[in-house]
Structure 1
Amino acid sequence: MSAELPEFYFRIRDNGAAVFRVDTENRQRRIDMEEIALVNVKNGNIKPHGDHKLTQEEIKVIGQWVAKRQATLAARDVDDILRAVDHMNLTTQWAQSKATDAQLEEVTDLLLLAMHDLRSVLVRKKAERLMKGEAAE
């Protein structure tokens, strides 16, 4: 464990975080955490907690954290999709080599509908991107 704690702590919650200022400079040498703000990661909205007036430094640090968190969440989204592709490949292998007729009967319609829905969305989105590219030329 590091001897020096960060000045701010971000408690992750749905759509954002509660922001605390960490204080170890007290007589009891205890860690005190004072909640100073709530932040929404989706829209970047920062709300001071209670009567606390946010300083420019606090706003800057919170803004940097929001940008880093948004990048982390975006990377996780892509990773989740890549894992889904892996799982689809494993599902294909399972259906081809291990699945019984009863198991296939149970999952076939659901898989076909989900794949049809996904394909429709992907084809439409790709067409939109191609049309934007042609319009830009």
Structure 2
Amino acid sequence: MTAMLPEYYFRVRENGAAVFKIDTENRQRRIEMDQIAVINIRNGEVKPHGQRSLSEADRTEIERWMDERKELLARRDIDDIHRAVDYLNLTAQWAQSKATDEQLEDVTDRLLLAMHDLRSVLVRKKADRLDKS
């Protein structure tokens, strides 16, 4: 099993990851994870861990992971938006067919404000795109 392990492990954090180098070539044949860096996806910062200096291979692998992670997060963002559209449709169906007066009273104002805010942003962004064309 240890022969199939990757050379690097990325422990995902809020804004990036902690980067570990995997070592299985030791006397006990245990998996050892040596932290080599902390990365921030938002600003692209890579901080070597402790007094460590990163090799070119380390930096290349970190950059590759960061690129893949950014693509994954972007795909998740748009997928979340598509789900939000579905939730809005399901919410409309629920409000029309199943919701009690008490349930509607509980959510109506918050939904209306959120939808008004969203509509304002979308209309403004659409107008900006049309002005550019």
Q: Same fold (TM over 0.5)?
A: yes
Name the CA distance, whole Å, in 2 between partners of 1:100 and 1:32: 57
2:85 is equivalent to residue 118 of structure 1: no
| Shift, 1:2, TM fit | 7.0
Question: 1:69 is matched with which residue?
Answer: 69
Structure 2-normalised TM-score?
0.95
**TM-aligned CA deviation for residue 102 of structure 1:** 2.1
In 1, the alpha carbon distance for the partners of 2:132 and 2:92 equals 34
Q: Please say if 1:94 is aligned against 2:94.
A: yes
Displaced runs of 4 or more, over 2 A: none
SS in 2 for 1:80: helix
Where do 5+ consecutive residues of structure 1 fail to align?
Answer: none
Tell me, what secondary structure is at the counterpart of 1:43?
A: coil
Q: Distance in 2 between matches of 1:105 and 1:33?
A: 54
User: C-alpha displacement at 1:3, in angstroms?
Assistant: 3.8
Match of 2:130 in 1: 130
Deviations 1:34-78 (A, max 9, x none): 100000011111000001110111101000000000110111111
TM-score by length of 1: 0.92
| Equivalenced residues, count | 133
- Partner of 1:72, secondary structure, is helix
Matched, 1:14 2:11: no
Which stretch of structure 1 is more off in the superposition, 61-70 or 106-115?
Answer: 106-115
The code of the aligned residue for 2:115 comes to M
